[in-house]
Each structure stands twice: as C-alpha cells, then as structure tokens.
Structure 1
Amino acid sequence: MLSNPRLLPSPDTVPDPYRWLERGDSPRSTEWIAQRDAEFQAAAATWPLRDALAADIRHLVSPTQWSPPLRRGGLLFATRRDGGDEHPRLVVVDPSGRERVLFDPAAHDPDGTTTLDAWEPSPDGTLVAVQTSRGGVERGALRVLSTATARPVESPVTGVRYAHVAWLPARHGPAFYFVRRDDSDGRRGVWLHRVGGGPDTLVHPCRSPRTVPGVLLRRDRWLLVTESHGTGHSNDLWLADLAHSPPDAPALRPVHVGRDIESEADVGPDGLLYLRTTHGAPLRRICAADPAAPAPEQWREVVPEDPEATLDGFAVAGDAAAAEVVYARTRLGVSELRVHSPATGVDRAVPLPGEGMVTRVSAEADGTVHFCYADVATLLTVFELRPGRTPRPWPDTGPPPPRTEVERRTLACVSFDGVHVPVTVFAVPGTPPGPTILHAYGGFGRPRQFGFSATVLAWLRAGGRYAVAHVRGGGDLGREWHLAGAGRHKVRAVRDLVAAADFLVSAGECTRDELCLSGGSTGGLLVLAAVALRPDLCAAVIASAPLADMVRFQRLGLGAMWTREFGTVTDPDDFAALLDYSPYHRVLRNPPTRYPAVLLTGFDGDTRTDAAHPRKMCAALLERAVGPRPVLLRYERGVGHGPRAVTRAIGLAADAHAFAAAQTGLSPTRQPSAGTAPTAGRR
C-alpha cells in the first residue's frame, strides 16, 4: 500500500498528464488515435495466425442460433441468426409453422451499427416492444410494432437502456411498464406506458441516483419492482397486487427495503411468492412466502443453500396443484439443473449434454421450461423441458455438428495470503505445455461460467491452452468471495491473478514467454494492474475495453454507479487503495520498465467503461515501456461495450488472439499430439 492515506494528494492534484485524451473527439486526440491505428495495422499484418483464426471463428459460429421462444396468443416469438447474418432478427411463427420477420437490424440499418437489445411481445401476441440502440452506446429507443404488419404503431419511447418491459393483460388496454435506468433528469424509475395513450406515468421513482430499477409482471396480476444497489449484492423489492390497485397507481408493498439482502422473485402457479435470495445464504437459496405476508421473517425455505455452489437462476413451473421449482447451480464454472417439488420434497437432476453452462431458465404458462446450454465446445443451444420428460433441443433440427473434444482440469494455487484460488485449464487432448492464455474477471460478484466461445475454441484448436483464474472479487465461491476482492480489497483480486500466473509457470503448463493474460472491462483492469505490479509476469497482455484510471473512474462512463464495487475517491482510505493499484498511475510512477507486449482495445461508443481508459493507459505505457515489445491500441468507431455485428466481433476476436499467438510463440504448425502431458517445473 501507499503511505498514510491522510498524507496523499487529493484526487484533483494527482499527476494526470494524459487527461487531454479523455476528449476523444478533439483534434489532438483524433491525430493521436490515427497514429495508434497505423501502428496497430502495421503490426497486425505480420501476425501469422490472424486469417486462420478469423476463418475458424466464423466457421464455429455458422450454425443457426435461436433464442428461447415465447408463446403469446397462439404465436411463437424468438430471435434467429443464420450463418451469414450480421445480427439476430426477431421472427414470429404462426400455428401452421409459417415464419415471418418482425424486425431485422440489418434491414433497419444497412451500416450494421444498430443492435436489437431487447424485445417482449404483448400477452395476446398482437404487439411487440422492441428496443434498439445504434453505434454501441446502448441507449436507444423502444418501439411498439404490430405483429400483423411489422410496422410501428406509435412514436418510439426514447432514452432507454436495456429497459425491462412488463406488458399488462389485455383488459387494461395495450400498456406496459418499463424502466429508465441512467437518465440524469429525474426520470429514473418504473414507468407505465399506454400505447397511443398520451404521456407516460411514473409509478415508482428511484429512491437513490445510484440504484438500478427493474420491473416484472407475473401471472397477469403481480407487479414486482426492484432497485439494485450498485454491485453490493443487495436490492430493495416491492410487490403489488393489480387485482386490488390500479395500474397507474399500484399499491406497492415492501418485501424487503433497506436490508442487506439480494432477491430475485417470481410468483408460482400455486399463488406463492418464490424468492432466490442471499438472505441467510451467501450462495443463495430459494424461499416461498404468502404474497399477503411477504416479509423475510415469514419466508420458508424451499431449496436450501449448497455450500459449494452458487444458485444462479430459477423458474416456477407446473400448475396450481403441483408447482415445481426449476433451478440452476454453478460449481466453479460448471452448471447443474434440478427440479424441486415443494409439495413432496422430491429434488431430481435434469440430464445435461455435458459439463457446461445453463442460463435463461424460464417457464411458460403450460408448464414448459426453456433453458440455454453451452460448453467450451458446444454452441449455445435452446432446450425444451416438458413435465415428466427429458430435455430436448429446440427447435429439433437433427444431429448436432461434430464436436471438438476438450479436456478440463481444475487446479488450485496459493495466493499471497495463503488463500487457495481455483484455476481451470482447458486444452484439446494431446496439447503439449506451451502458449497459454490466462483469463480473469474478478468483479461485481459475477461467477465465471464455462459457456461457448468460438474465440477460445479456435485458440484451443490451434494448439494453445486456455486457463481461467477464479480470483476473489468474482462470484465463483459466493458472496463472501466477491466481497473479499471488492472495494479496498480489490488489490487481492490483482494479487490472486499474479499468483495464478506464477502457478501456471511453476507447474510446467507454460513458460513466462508463453503466457498471455487476458481480461475485458473489470478483467482488463485486473490484467493491467497485475503487470503494472509485476512487469516480468508474462509475455503479453490483452486488455479489452478496460478500466485503467481508477482516480477518475467515477467521472467516466458508468463509473459513478460502481462505487460499491471499487470504493470512492471522496473517502481517504478508498482513495489510497484506488491510487495504489490503479494501472495508469502505477505505470506513471514506475521508472522506465520492460513491460509485456500489450494490446488494448477501445470503442468510441462505449458508455460503460469509456474509451478514455484504454487511450490514457496506452499513452502511459508508450511513455514508460522500454524494450522491443509493442504497446498497441486497437480502436473502433461505431461500436461500444456490448453486442456488435458478427463480422466486427470476429475481427476483434481474431486480432486479439493472433496477437497472443505472435507474442507467445503459437505457430501455424503447432498441433495437439496424443499422449503429451505437462512437465512439472518447466520454466
């Protein structure tokens, strides 16, 4: 740590020679970015695996992909992306099987920068709310389309960001609740919108400028409103019965408000309120309550906490006589799916195709459950689970494509303070020790789940190894694991990553010259902080859309929302911790140093982490780095932190991993060979 925090300079007097790069559109910044782009293009043209990786990634994502379907008014709604599509398109399928396109981002915006961020059909299926944004900014418009004509029926609702939409039943007329999350003019909260019916009505204003609102409507009756408190694993929850209060003035009853509890709620077909909650269970359990008496003191446990797995998602299916809770748990990146009967206590496992990730568990009114499954070598697939049956792919299109065999090993390294940190290593069987990417995220309590990544699979197929460090700050081992690496303790996540890198080298998985650290967003912060602390740690670093300036993070992007995760510069002790590990400032404090090769990526439409972070970090490294290893910035315009056109996503992924290959010695001729195992002590 730095010296006494009370003797530190103030945040406004910390040296910041590249603050001018916070204005990415200034003439000086524009010229600087153009220079970095020329350097990147010249370097990328020399990477041997660039074209091969891009081709393999495109091949791996070529099968048709569907979202879980929603059935409304006898119609089926889903998104579909075929191999040649740049974006998923929203389609509707009628009872005869005829499919029509309701919204195609590529047709709406031929330049490819519009994304379909969210959609929700009305209960009778006659209308669908579609949210889009352009240029990667993730703030956009909410349009209501006619299912019959695919045309808008009114002017769009603007200024929304991934808005939850909860349609009212038809008896209330065409209307829905939606949320405004990050407006600064007092409109944050839950709103009621009547289609073609005049101004929107604010039904629940946010109680704090730092909370994130959410809304759900269950069983056409129960309104659920939440306010999440940043990233602190807590939220407030209210419930209203629309059978006894009007939609524009719902009588919201507190379930839990102002308590250190995080809950996700649903109302089952049996009329009970079900909650996936941290109350009394850091790794979460499921409880049930009478909606008339919903306080935590009245809850009864339905599914207990598992001390070794996080409970990540659930849905309540069945009927009024026999409700069933379908829930997913994750053990160090691997999911399991189970069905629990509250009436009988029977709890059974649902067979899955392999050791992978289960997401988006949802239940239809007829008891059908849909969920998504993916693993390192299996493309995300929708499964349908009907009562009393085993799950089957939806839609059923025949045998899956050939699958690459991938081995998974979970190891444990000892961090600086004696804590054991799990490290998972993936490789195609027969891959010898050698070029390895070590990934970490370590933030916001999010567990790493081993789903499909065409980028990772292409790297493995090319003969590389891929490792994941389950560092503190993530949610891999529950809430306490998150809090142990959050706030003033964030440096523990950095040192856990350093320990994991040292462990891979000492265990003979790779040498230092064969190791590349990789992380995006908060993970980008970790990998940059790790090499700022230990420049000898590895050969290369990929930091995608990272945080880097932790003195100014609250003034950039959504940083003001993240003080529960990182702390605040207005608190002297928080400020001391932030300044200590801030990669930008540590590099500026260090003497000229031989750093690993560094590839930073930045996107000018990034409204989350803000592209000022990679710009400033690149400038600091260019000033302080010595030796032959490059410092590169791959900068894109017209995209942001989230989804983008497939071709642009493939280009980004291929460039990042071709860079890693070039720096770690992964050559086009390296191929896995049977019978090769790690050699202990290889350095």
Structure 2
Amino acid sequence: MAESTPLPYPQARTVDQTDIYFGTPIADPYRWMEDLDAPEVAAWVKAENALTQGWLSEVSERNALRTRLMELINYERFTAPSRRGTRFFYTHNTGLQNHPVVFWQEGLDGEPQVLIDPNTLSADGTVALSGRRTTDDGSLTAYSLAEAGSDWITWRVRDVTTGQDLPDVVAWSKFSSAAWVKDNSGFFYSGYGEPTETTLKTANYFHKVFFHALGTPQTEDVLVFDRPDDKELNLHAEVTDDGRYLLIAQSRGTSPNNQITLMDLATKEVHPLITTEEAVFDPIDNVGTVFFFRTTLDAPKGKVIAIDLADPARERWQTLIAETENPLDTVSLVNHLFIAQYLADAQSHVELHRMDGTHAGTLALPAIGTAGGFGGERTDTETFYTFTNFNTPATVYRLDLTTLGSRIYRQPKLAYDPAAFATSQVFVESKDGTRVPLFLTHRKGMALDGTNPTLLYGYGGFNVTLQPAFSPTYVLWMEMGGVYAQAGLRGGGEYGEAWHEGGMKAKKQNVFDDFIACAEYLIASGYTSSPKLAIQGGSNGGLLVAACALQRPDLFGAAIAQVGVMDMLRFDRFTIGWAWKADYGSPSENEDEFRAIVKYSPLHNVNAGVAYPTMLITTADHDDRVFPAHSFKFAATMQAAGGPNPALIRVEVRAGHGAGMPLGKRVEMIADEYAFLVRALRMEFRLETRA
C-alpha cells in the first residue's frame, strides 16, 4: 500500500557513464558511488541512514522488539567439544556476550579454562575470532582474528597451558584454515601475500599456500604451493591425521569441484592425484596410502570411494558407499565407522557404515531438524554432535559409537516454550513443474485466514543448503503473530549437484521462479496475502529478493534485501566477486551469459513509477565480500524511479558481510528490520516480556 507522503530522498547526482557489452550500451549513472572513500559517498550514506532511522522511529514497537529480542537471545550456547590429546575444546556464550569464548578442559570432567575471549579484544566488539586450529596434542592453538567484519585475517599462536601468545604473527591471510605439522613446529595457511593495494574494491587473485615455522618472522614463511598458471584457483591445505601428507585442494572460484595434490611431508615429493575439476573430491581420512574421499564423480548426489596411492589409476578406484536418492553432505571416520550425513528433503539423515562400506546402523534423530559435528579420529570410540531446528536451539549430544546410543550432554534453558510452535514441510510446484521444499513454522493453532504476516526467506545459490536452524529472531517473529517460511530453491545443495546446476548461469531464472511459486503457495493456502507477505535474503539471497520484487511487485508487501549482489554486470570486478562466475556466469566475457544476466540484474531492471514493494536495502561500510556499492547504486536507482512505496537503505558502520558482528549491532539491525516490517505490513501485535 502506498504511503501518503513521498519521502525526501537525499540527492544523488548522476554521471554520463555508458559501457558497451557485446554491442549493447548499458548506462551506469551512479558509477561514482564505487569510490567508497569519497566525501560525497560518505555524505550520501549519512543522509540515507538519517532518513531510514527517521522513518523507523515512527514505529512505536521498536523498543519492545529490541527488549524482547535481548530476552530471547539471553540463553547459554555451547558448541560440541572436540578432543585434542587429553584436552577438550569448545565455545560457550553465557547469553549476551558479543562473541562466544573458547574454553578447554582436561577430560570431560575437568575444570573449564578460558583459552581465547574475543570480547576483550576491542571496546566495540568489532574484532572477532575467525578461525582456530589446535595441535593434535592440545598444547598450541593457532587462531585468526578479523576486524570490522573483513575477510582478511591475522593468525596468532597461543600456548594452551599458559594462555599466553607466542611472538608469531601472520597477516594477509584470507579464506584459510591452519594446518599443523605433527611435531608442532609450524602450520600451513592460505593467502595472497601482502597486497600492494588494500581498498575494499581490490580484486584478489593467485591464492597461495605458505608454511609458517614457529619462532620466525612472516617474511621467512615458505611458499609451499601456488598455481601461477591459473589466477582463479582457491587453495586449501590440510595435513592428514597421521601427519604424513599435505593435501591441497584447488577449486575454481566458488565451484564445489576441485583438484587434489598431495605432498609427502617426509620426502617433499608432490603427487598430483586429481588433475581435473569434473567433480567434488572431499578428503575424509587415510590409512597409509589408501585415501577415502566423498565425491560426486559419476554420482551427482555423492558417494565414498577409496584411492590407493600405490595404484592410483582411476579404474582401480573402489566405491565403498554407493550413491543413494539422498545427497551425501559430509562424511567423517570415527571408531572405524564412516558417519555419513545425508540430506533428506533438506533435513538431516545420518547413516553409519563400516570401513568396507557395509551398513552398520542409522542414527535416530529427535525431530525434523539439522545435525552437525561428528568429529574425531579413527580410533575414538565416541563423538559429539549438535541438533537444532527452527524453534529449538542447538543441543549437544554425546554419541557412543560402540552402542550407537546418544544422550544429551548440554542443553540450554530458554525464555520461551518451544512446544508453543509447530514446524511442517510442504512441497510447492514451480513454474516448470519442479517440486520445491518449503518449511513452515508458526504458533500452534494459527488460523489460515490469509491475514498472518509472513516472512519468506531464501538463498538459492552456490550449492548452499538451507536446513532447519534456530534463531531467536524466528521466535520473536512468531511471537509477533508471524509465519516463518524457508524455501529450498534450485541453485542450492538441497538435492545434490543437479539441483545446484538447475539454478546456475543461464538457468538462474529458475531460482526466482521457485521463490515466486512459494510465495504464491503461501497466499493460495491461506497463510497470508500479498499485503502481509515479506521476503528476505542476504548476499546471493539479497539478489534473489531484489530480482523477485522487481519481477513480481504485485506479489509482496515488503522486501528486505541484505548485502545483495545488485550490479550483475560488474560483480566480477570487486574483491572476490570474480569467484562467483562459476555460479553466475561471465557477463563481460560470454555474450550468451550476458544476455541471460542482464534480464534479471536488479540494478538494470528498475522501471520508473512502478509500485514496488516497500523495500529495505542493507549493507555495511566494510563489506569486502559483496562490495557496498552494489547496494548504494541499487538504492539510488530505486529512489530515482519515483515509485509510490518507500525504498530505504540502512548502512552499518564498522561491519562487514555479517560474520563477527557484535551482539549490540546485531540486535539493533534486527530490531530495525522488524520495525520496518511492522510498518510496511501494517502489523498489529502485543509482546509479553519478562519482568
């Protein structure tokens, strides 16, 4: 519904900038917004934030939303413990801490000791723990820090017993874990070397693997492996549990397919094992020269194979666990059992197999939901996992692998009753007849009279699977009388590689059609109506939301597009955007892909005067994953189009793509998003908060 008074949008000048793509002129009047450090851009952002906050300030329920959200967030959160030597490591958040704290203890009954408390690293909480890896004996932990949400990370090393850092500092690492050698003398990591330019816009190419020897400066780190012949390969290094080999996976951009190279750490000999990118090869473990992989080779939904380095010819590869109707998501090897985690209609399903591949049992899970964890070494007799769904936060279970019996190890206490809500799964027919899974969660006994505010969430890309997962924000939304709907769209990994490919490149429109079909189902089934229906998604999901809002403006009452990829003709020119060509295509290199992309690119499909849904576009000033100018240019274009409904933008400061954001910023952002929905959907509700 249109607002009565047009908003006084800040002025955004236009420039005469036109690019030619395969003979087609494309105007880019807000190109100047790509200069993030320009005073003019800063002034525009400040004015836009002021406008948005002014609009939201008229929502009287915003403070109540913030208060109730803090109550719902205030519960203990644990991760599943992992054993290193005689010590167990895990994270714990008491409830309202900005970041979880890393603890360790001797045995499962030992006294917990703080290892790393990220909350002490910065006054505003914007320095976050990005990753960590502990030596096999539990004596040293390499940990990485990210500032203001950046993808750039810096590694440090902490002595577990003393809690003190060693002098070692390794900077300019990105998209990397740490892989310790067996004698604890150092670790492998990935990065690009020190860049000559460090703006958010700078593209990163030629990923490399380095080795850092403890006690030496980073300038002496050894370049272990690189691919100067191919700048678009991402490299990931892991040391095998026996300490004998370094496995280096090489993948192109965001494609899940990869090559595998092995280095014998005793002889330094390099063995190219998988030399093509025709499938996924995910290392599981090895016994001597026999390596086990989860692969999609000739099995789009995944299988487990064994390759013997002594006789590595492809015709000698052995299939241990054959492909099934359900996608094989991850596999670990604990107690000489393959723990195979499958996706059954986007829900977890766990099977156990002996090392010869024979079936050993099925793990009983509590309900519709998502299981994760199952770490450990081949000789361990137990493992830990978490289980969660939309209305229940992660509970940690201890699994005895000799009896296959599970028992609760840690379970949080909550500020609400999970039994008040119900989750169901339905299947929606998309435009071309494809069956799309849709989870629905809401208060029990809700009437299907078409009046319920409904939030439809989606992603649909990069082989990412949306499974049932808990968030206090979902509970808040349901307490407000809302329905939370989560769609498993093509482009994701819900049904294996064929499902992923069904939403890639020239087939990207399938993703939007799936999402639109889910929205139409919610209306036709009486859950909601167009004026009460909102859509939300982030990153690739922000692209999804913007594209669907532009293609079917009549279908939605509101849209929240978070950190979205909006300029689909220039995404590959910023930071790591080139890596997305594996999913989106190459608009400046391939004419057919350009013709497909320009039809849905949000920035290039805004029409003047159209009653688009009331829209909130969000981004952050330090987002070096999806360059903020995507959202800046799209917001300016939407506002200039002069439609009757508001098009607002909210720019978070000292924040990035989302990871590592401190609690205060997260709560303010969510409260603003829900206040936006209250006004845009004209919601009426009453929240009960604790005294």
TM-score (norm 1): 0.90
Structure 1 residues 59 and 314, CA gap change in structure 2 (3 angstroms): farther
Structure 1 residues 317 and 18, CA gap change in structure 2 (3 angstroms): same
Residues 31-42 of structure 1: matches in 2 within 5 Å?
A: 31-42=43-54
CA deviation after TM superposition for structure 1 residue 159, in Å: 0.4
Report the Cα distance in structure 2 between the residues aligned to 1:344 and 1:420, rounded to whole angstroms: 32
Q: Return 291-300 or 379-388, whichever deviates more.
A: 291-300
CA deviation after TM superposition for structure 1 residue 137, in Å: 0.9
Report the Cα distance in structure 2 between the residues aligned to 1:344 and 1:533, rounded to whole angstroms: 48
Alignment pair present for 1:196 and 2:215: yes
CA deviation after TM superposition for structure 1 residue 210, in Å: 1.4
Alignment counterpart, residue 468 of structure 2, candidates 435, 450, 456: 450
CA deviation after TM superposition for structure 1 residue 450, in Å: 0.8
Alignment counterpart, residue 174 of structure 1, candidates 175, 185, 188: 185
CA deviation after TM superposition for structure 1 residue 290, in Å: 2.4
Secondary structure at the aligned position of 1:305 is classed as coil
Report the Cα distance in structure 1 between the residues aligned to 2:385 and 2:415, rounded to whole angstroms: 17
Alignment counterpart, residue 455 of structure 2, candidates 437, 440, 443: 437
CA deviation after TM superposition for structure 1 residue 162, in Å: 4.1
CA deviation after TM superposition for structure 1 residue 302, in Å: 2.1
Deviations 1:148-192 (A, max 9, x none): 33222123100012421111112xx52111122697677622221
Report the Cα distance in structure 1 between the residues aligned to 2:548 and 2:233, rounded to whole angstroms: 31
In structure 2, stretches of 5+ residues that fail to align are 1-18, 197-204
Task: Look up the match of 1:205.
Answer: 226
CA deviation after TM superposition for structure 1 residue 98, in Å: 2.5
Alignment counterpart, residue 216 of structure 1, candidates 238, 243, 249: 238
Alignment counterpart, residue 661 of structure 2, candidates 644, 648, 657: 644
Report the Cα distance in structure 2 between the residues aligned to 1:401 and 1:315, rounded to whole angstroms: 35
Runs of 4+ with >4 A deviation: 7-13, 181-187, 268-271, 395-402
Report the Cα distance in structure 2 between the residues aligned to 1:396 and 1:504, rounded to whole angstroms: 34
CA deviation after TM superposition for structure 1 residue 413, in Å: 2.9
Q: Which amino acid in structure 1 is aligned with residue 502 of structure 2?
A: A
Q: Which amino acid in structure 2 is aligned with residue 371 of structure 1?
A: Y
Q: Return 413-422 or 533-542, whichever deviates more.
A: 413-422
Structure 1 residues 81 and 624, CA gap change in structure 2 (3 angstroms): same
Q: Which amino acid in structure 1 is aligned with residue 617 of structure 2?
A: L
* Contact preservation (8 Å) 2:99, 2:660: no
Q: Which amino acid in structure 1 is aligned with residue 232 of structure 2?
A: R
Report the Cα distance in structure 2 between the residues aligned to 1:44 and 1:432, rounded to whole angstroms: 29
Secondary structure at the aligned position of 1:123 is classed as coil
Residues 56-71 of structure 1: matches in 2 within 5 Å?
A: 56-71=68-83
* Contact preservation (8 Å) 1:234, 1:260: yes
Task: Look up the match of 1:681.
Answer: none
Task: Look up the match of 1:381.
Answer: 395
Report the Cα distance in structure 2 between the residues aligned to 1:545 and 1:68, rounded to whole angstroms: 30
Q: Which amino acid in structure 1 is aligned with residue 681 of structure 2?
A: T
Structure 1 residues 387 and 347, CA gap change in structure 2 (3 angstroms): closer
* Contact preservation (8 Å) 2:77, 2:412: no
Task: Look up the match of 1:678.
Answer: none
Structure 1 residues 531 and 261, CA gap change in structure 2 (3 angstroms): same
CA deviation after TM superposition for structure 1 residue 12, in Å: 9.4
* Contact preservation (8 Å) 2:304, 2:321: yes
In structure 1, stretches of 5+ residues that fail to align are 1-6, 672-683
* Contact preservation (8 Å) 1:178, 1:190: yes
Report the Cα distance in structure 2 between the residues aligned to 1:12 and 1:386, rounded to whole angstroms: 63
Alignment counterpart, residue 489 of structure 2, candidates 471, 495, 515: 471
Report the Cα distance in structure 2 between the residues aligned to 1:524 and 1:180, rounded to whole angstroms: 28
Q: Which amino acid in structure 2 is aligned with residue 592 of structure 1?
A: G
Task: Look up the match of 1:277.
Answer: 295
Q: Return 254-263 or 521-530, whichever deviates more.
A: 254-263
Q: Which amino acid in structure 2 is aligned with residue 456 of structure 1?
A: Y
Task: Look up the match of 2:615.
Answer: 598
Alignment pair present for 1:367 and 2:352: no
Alignment pair present for 1:148 and 2:151: no
Task: Look up the match of 2:258.
Answer: 235
Task: Look up the match of 2:12.
Answer: none
Secondary structure at the aligned position of 1:416 is classed as coil
CA deviation after TM superposition for structure 1 residue 666, in Å: 3.0
CA deviation after TM superposition for structure 1 residue 27, in Å: 1.4
* Contact preservation (8 Å) 1:8, 1:576: no
Alignment pair present for 1:632 and 2:648: yes
Structure 1 residues 59 and 329, CA gap change in structure 2 (3 angstroms): farther
Q: Which amino acid in structure 2 is aligned with residue 178 of structure 1?
A: Y
CA deviation after TM superposition for structure 1 residue 397, in Å: 7.8
* Contact preservation (8 Å) 2:93, 2:99: yes
Task: Look up the match of 1:421.
Answer: 436
Report the Cα distance in structure 1 between the residues aligned to 2:28 and 2:96, rounded to whole angstroms: 46
CA deviation after TM superposition for structure 1 residue 404, in Å: 3.8
Report the Cα distance in structure 2 between the residues aligned to 1:363 and 1:476, rounded to whole angstroms: 26
Task: Look up the match of 2:596.
Answer: 577
Structure 1 residues 593 and 431, CA gap change in structure 2 (3 angstroms): same
CA deviation after TM superposition for structure 1 residue 577, in Å: 1.4
Secondary structure at the aligned position of 2:531 is classed as helix
Structure 1 residues 86 and 427, CA gap change in structure 2 (3 angstroms): same
Q: Which amino acid in structure 2 is aligned with residue 176 of structure 1?
A: F
Q: Which amino acid in structure 2 is aligned with residue 660 of structure 1?
A: L
Residues 511-526 of structure 1: matches in 2 within 5 Å?
A: 511-526=529-544
Deviations 1:635-657 (A, max 9, x none): 11111112211221122223222
CA deviation after TM superposition for structure 1 residue 375, in Å: 0.8
Task: Look up the match of 1:505.
Answer: 523
Q: Percent identity?
A: 28
Secondary structure at the aligned position of 2:444 is classed as coil
* Contact preservation (8 Å) 1:488, 1:574: yes
Task: Look up the match of 1:87.
Answer: 99
CA deviation after TM superposition for structure 1 residue 116, in Å: 0.2
Q: Which amino acid in structure 2 is aligned with residue 620 of structure 1?
A: T
CA deviation after TM superposition for structure 1 residue 10, in Å: 4.9
Task: Look up the match of 1:407.
Answer: 422
Task: Look up the match of 2:135.
Answer: 122
Indicate the RMSD between aligned Cα atoms, in angstroms.
2.5
Report the Cα distance in structure 2 between the residues aligned to 1:482 and 1:158, rounded to whole angstroms: 35
Task: Look up the match of 1:676.
Answer: none
Secondary structure at the aligned position of 1:14 is classed as strand
Q: Return 608-617 or 270-279, whichever deviates more.
A: 270-279
CA deviation after TM superposition for structure 1 residue 9, in Å: 4.4
Residues 346-361 of structure 1: matches in 2 within 5 Å?
A: 346-361=359-374
